[in-house]
Amino acid sequence: MSRDRVFSAIRKSITIHGVARSEIGADRSAVITSVGTGRITEQAERRFLEWRRDNGLPLDGPFLKVEAEEFLFEYAETSRQSAVDATRLGLSRVLGIRLAHVLSLIETIEQGRAVTWEEVRLIIEHQRDWNGLSTLACLDGGLRACELDTLRREDELGPSSHRTWPETMFLGRQDYVRMVVTGKGGLRRPVALASPLAEAIETRRLSRAREKTDRGVHRESLYDIGGGQRLSQSFSYASQTALGYSLGLHGLRHGFAQRRVRKLMALGCDFMTAVHMVSIELGHFRPVLAYYQPRKHD
């Protein structure tokens, strides 16, 4: 049975037309009661299958929850909340599982949030050493706040094997150390940190992993550095103190993306090729143009 027939059969089995949602009870979110809901569900299937194709995953399954949530987190960086919610509910229906609520980042991304090295230099003067190191790592490696708690050496934890990691990753970078972080959805990806920064982080390595809880998620950290919500709060406070404004910690990923694209274009890549290469370094496997919005005062 083809992938289209698999999803079509599932969709048919959960479709109940002509019945009021109030009569269905607690299961009403798991069934399709209108043509519009059926169309939204089919669109969610298509987006998920296109993402699986782009990432080299089999189109006929198995469809794992961790993969579906990884797709949603990626989709949320370039789509509005209404589209993210509709896609999440559509996938939840057809896969028969409850998927995590995911917040869209597109509203703030559209305003342009790229933080510069000069701004970071001033910000880290108002942070503790462990938070300052993490701030530098986010800008140098394109990391999310939550990923700092998952940092590992590449020789002790490799990247996810279901993805193809091109040899051109980190093209143009020199004197760096490859490490691995676990991102949203469970994707483990290689990241590059400048050798002096990686060495400074290594001096804060713990003798054994320390369990940390961030917004209800439990992780084991091997380094005594900032991460998660506390790092985000530290960054915002320090930024307000140093600059009088804050673009948020996620702005460091934007700064990383724009800097890397400029570097690759200087090496001869065209813009879209550079964007695609940097998107992979960020953990995306489709070009993410939202990172390249200019800031309003630029």
Tens digit of each residue's pLDDT (9 = 90 or more) over 27-63: 545 554 466 677 888 888 888 888 888 878 888 878 8
Residues 6 or more apart in contact with residue 238 via CB below 8 angstroms: 123, 124, 125, 126, 127, 131
Q: Between these two residues, 103 and 129, which has the higher pLDDT value?
A: 129
Q: Where do the CATH 1.10.443 domains begin and end in the chain?
A: 113-292
Q: Between these two residues, 240 and 292, which has the higher pLDDT value?
A: 240
Instruction: Of 59, 67, 115, 19, give the one whose Cα is nearest residue 28.
Output: 19
> How would CATH label the architecture of 113-292?
Orthogonal Bundle (1.10)
Q: Between these two residues, 185 and 271, which has the higher pLDDT value?
A: 271
Per DSSP, 57 falls in state -
Tokens of 254: 């934007």
| Strand bridging mode 188-194 / 176-182 | antiparallel
> Are the C-beta atoms of residues 168 and 263 closer than 8 Å to each other?
no
> Are the C-beta atoms of residues 231 and 148 closer than 8 Å to each other?
yes
* pLDDT for position 226: 96
Q: Between these two residues, 215 and 35, which has the higher pLDDT value?
A: 215
Q: Quick check: 297 pLDDT over 60? A: no
% of the chain surpassing 70 pLDDT: 83
Q: Which of 20-24, 39-43, 64-68, 107-111 has the highest mean pLDDT?
A: 64-68
Mean of the per-residue pLDDT values for the chain?
84
Q: Between these two residues, 287 and 256, which has the higher pLDDT value?
A: 256
Q: Which residues of 121-155 are buried (b: 16+ CB within 10 A; e: fewer)?
A: eebbebbeebbbbbbbbbbbbbbbbbbbbbbbeee
Read off the pLDDT of residues 141-184 as tens digits, 9 standing for 90 and up.
Answer: 999 999 999 999 999 999 998 888 999 999 999 999 999 999 86
H helices present in the chain, as ranges: 3-13, 21-24, 35-54, 65-76, 81-95, 106-109, 117-124, 129-141, 195-202, 228-243, 251-266, 271-281
Q: Predicted confidence band at 263 (pLDDT cuts at 50, 70, 90)?
A: very high
User: Dihedral of CA 227/232/233/238: which sign?
Assistant: positive
* pLDDT for position 205: 97
Is the peptide bond between 166 and the residue preceding it cis, with omega within 30 degrees of 0?
no
Tokens of 21: 């949602």
| Strand bridging mode 205-214 / 217-223 | antiparallel
pTM for the structure as a whole: 0.68
